Amino acid sequence: MKKIALTLFGICSISAMAQTQLIAHRGYWNTPNPTAKNSVEALKNTQKIKVYGSEFDVHQTKDGVLVINHDNDINGVVIADTNFGDLKNQKLSNGEAIPTLKDYLITGSKDQNLKLIVEIKPTQSKELDEKIAQSTLALVKQLKLENHVEYISFSLNTCKALKAYQPSVKVQYLMGDLSPAQVKEIGLDGIDYYYKIFQKNPEWIAQAKSLGLITNAWTVNDIKVYQELEKLGIDFITTDTPVDFIKK
């Protein structure tokens, strides 16, 4: 009896693991009355739905403050060229001031079941990429959120630096120009690629899995694409429409 129960548990575990999970792209902003992407409000909205994670983008100000924003600039003010004192009053479309990474992580820490997917944006230099990776890890450590965050980046320098400074962190590469074997060789944890890369190279999902890499596709808002990738066994889908894909 015990053996049967254990076997059943094993089957259930495997199917639970195999299920494609969702990550809200820049938070769950696409509500009936949409709010600003990458806003604290979008993060709070994600905490109210049942998904794996909430993604957001990190830049650094000229004087070294980490802030959340997708583009290099907010309202035309270039983040990397501006001290935080001159940036902090810039508003998102929902009226919030530009969030700092610290404030964002503190809000995120209130829901331990929702992973915080930190995208560190590339900079003009390898040194700066490494410095931002280091400061982000330090802040996460200070807030005791090491088990709560995962990292993604288009910058291979950033990905490598994160793993070098703290090998236990999960880091996925975004660019889509490296095969699963190449990403494994570099020592990263997964591939988080534009969905068309997986459509062009569908075998990469099985290859990645056999290498023990995580697979994730962005930004999937079409249910047909979601189903196609789910059938291929993708681990995660990053989407602007998380509620549409939540299994009832």
Q: Which is nearer to Mg ion, 66 or 184 (CB)?
A: 66
Shortest Cβ 12–Mg ion spacing (Å) = 33
Shortest Cβ 204–Mg ion spacing (Å) = 21
Q: Which is nearer to Mg ion, 119 or 129 (CB)?
A: 119
Shortest Cβ 217–Mg ion spacing (Å) = 13
Q: Which is nearer to Mg ion, 41 or 119 (CB)?
A: 119
Shortest Cβ 199–Mg ion spacing (Å) = 20
CA 4 to chain centre: 38
Q: Which is nearer to Mg ion, 184 or 220 (CB)?
A: 220
Select the residue whose beta carbon is closest to Mg ion and give its number: 119
Neighbouring C-beta atoms of residue 3, cutoff 10 Å = 7
Q: Which is nearer to Mg ion, 184 or 245 (CB)?
A: 245
Q: Which is nearer to Mg ion, 57 or 150 (CB)?
A: 57
Shortest Cβ 27–Mg ion spacing (Å) = 10
The token duo for 77 is 């003010």
Shortest Cβ 128–Mg ion spacing (Å) = 18
Q: Which chain residues interact with Mg ion by CB under 5 A? A: 57, 119
